[in-house]
Amino acid sequence: MTNKPYSKSDAISWILHSLKIMLGDESIRQEILMHYHPNLHKGNVKKLAKITKTDSHIRTFDAFAEVSEDEDFQAAIEKKQKILQDYLFEIVKLKGIVTFTATNIQRDADDHETHFQSYIVNNDAKTVWVIDPAYNAAVLETDELQPHQGIYYAEITYDVVKPFFEEYAPDYEFCFVPLSHPAQISFDDVFCQSWSLMILNSQLHNTTLTPYSIPKSQKDKYAVLLNFYKRIFIDIPSLSSYLYSEYEGEIIENYGEKSALLKADPVKILLTMTSANMIA
């Protein structure tokens, strides 16, 4: 390995990139939520495992549409939408709270934009709370915009989740978690995975829907997000190994095994970062 010193700012960029990937992973989101909410889905775990065909009972539906040789992208999108709809049919048969996350589905092979939205379905109270990190309380409904639509359109919510409850479970009250300010106000902010998880984790402590406080300035927003990162890494030591692995893999893939960036300790750097580091 080279003795050339690494750039801390470059290391931070790759740490944040690695965090973005890591916190979009279904199993890691599950581990974090179960740490803070050990009784989440209590009594439903076996039923949810049967529905999802996996061990995970806190689902994250990713953006990627698998296109076979004999179909076009629209057919793949519809198939992806149906998977989520089938899941919704099953979870409304359960009791208590079920929480999951879904992303906007890619429109074509070159579409790499994902937008994470999280949901809290309370089958006892008959409520659905939607967490959209781009939610903008100041936006009113127009011919072009949905009410409270921010810089990203909550497509999977409006195209699949909301229509499902309107048609098949109309007795559920469907509403967005109001944010005092949008969490995402810049296209440079690619942390919808983190924002959705942070807000979801907090809202699961609430029995009534109240506005979630988000600072106005970008620097203050990132301070909140960074505090969340630091808290979960301190509270859940096992997360460190995931970050080490993701960071190392990204560096080797992009720079090779002799990169000086491999000398950086991503967890140690993360725990000493400031909000200014996230804007750089």
Domain spans, the chain: 8-279
pLDDT of residue 52: 79
Provide the angle, in degrees to the nearest 10, between the axes of the packed helices 218-235 and 26-36.
Answer: 80
Judged against a pLDDT cut of 90, whether residue 108 lies above it is answered with no
pTM: predicted TM-score of the whole model, two decimal places: 0.91
The residues with which 179 forms a beta bridge, in sequence order, are 212
Band of the pLDDT at 42, cuts 50, 70, 90? Answer: confident
- Under 8 Å CB-to-CB from 232, ≥6 apart: which residues? 32, 239
Mean pLDDT of 144-164: 87
Mean pLDDT of 108-129: 86
Question: Mind listing the pLDDT tens digit for each residue in 174-210?
Answer: 999 999 999 988 777 678 999 999 999 999 999 899 8
Band of the pLDDT at 110, cuts 50, 70, 90? Answer: low
pLDDT of residue 113: 66
pLDDT of residue 280: 56
